[in-house]
């Protein structure tokens, strides 16, 4: 398949691209940072630079990519977990506005398969409402919600396993590839076998 991976240069995206390529898929990897273009090329993706909050530009790059699947792995989190509190609302905006823009771009391009990153635990406050909105938007178009446990391993916030729900970052990548063929619904990706509902 031809896959448009939004968030291709993130901690999970960097592991997804080579796995997808190894499975025979063509990957168009979106990043908002021009500095990540060479990284994505090295991983085997066809890079595109776009900000998900620029809806018109996003619609163009998705249409130009002609994907069979849009895979939404975007987050807006700092590299240092200690800085999350200093950026209130950034990731909630990504889940709301970013998801709406990606869905609109996918639908305008005629893409029928849409998968989106969610979490397998309950966030506090507005974070929980943003997660619920992302999931509702995704399921309303027949998409697949990927509820990940807390990532751990090299390059994540947790070098060693945190409390449950959790998932090793490489396991998360492998299970995401497997979920590409999942029917519409929720797929929970944690250290145990993934559960579909």
> What values do phi and psi take at 143, rounded to 5?
-85, -175
Alpha carbon 33 to its chain centroid, in Å, reads: 16
pLDDT tens for 160-179 read: 999 999 999 999 999 999 99
| Per-residue pLDDT at 56 exceeds 80 | yes
pTM of the predicted structure, to 2 decimals: 0.95
Alpha-carbon distance of 46 to 14, in angstroms, equals 13
Range of the domain at 115: 2-196
| Per-residue pLDDT at 196 exceeds 60 | no
Q: Could you tell me if 106 and 114 are in contact, meaning their C-beta atoms sit under 8 angstroms apart? A: yes
- What's the number of domains the chain is made of? 1
pLDDT tens for 148-161 read: 999 999 999 999 99
- Residue 50 zone, left/alpha/beta (φ > 0; ψ -120 to 50; rest): beta
Helix (H) or strand (E) holding 167: strand 166-168
């Amino acid at each position: 398949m031809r896959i448009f991976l939004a968030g291709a240069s993130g901690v999970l995206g960097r592991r997804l691209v080579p796995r997808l390529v190894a499975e025979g898929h063509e990957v168009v990897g979106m990043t908002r940072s021009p500095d990540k273009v060479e990284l994505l090329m090295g991983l085997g993706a066809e890079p595109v630079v776009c900000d998900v909050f620029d809806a018109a530009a996003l619609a163009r790059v998705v249409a130009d990519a002609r994907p069979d699947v849009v895979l939404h792995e975007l987050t807006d989190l700092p590299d240092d977990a200690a800085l999350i509190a200093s950026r209130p609302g950034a990731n909630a905006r990504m889940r709301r506005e970013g998801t709406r823009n990606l869905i609109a771009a996918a639908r305008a391009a005629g893409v029928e398969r849409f998968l989106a990153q969610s979490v397998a635990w309950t966030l506090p406050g507005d974070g929980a409402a943003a997660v619920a909105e992302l999931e509702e938007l995704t399921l309303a178009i027949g998409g697949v919600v990927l509820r990940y446990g807390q990532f751990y391993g090299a390059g994540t916030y947790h070098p060693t396993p945190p409390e449950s729900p959790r998932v090793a970052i490489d396991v998360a990548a492998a299970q995401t590839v497997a979920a590409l063929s999942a029917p519409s619904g929720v797929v929970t990706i944690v250290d145990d076998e993934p559960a579909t509902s």
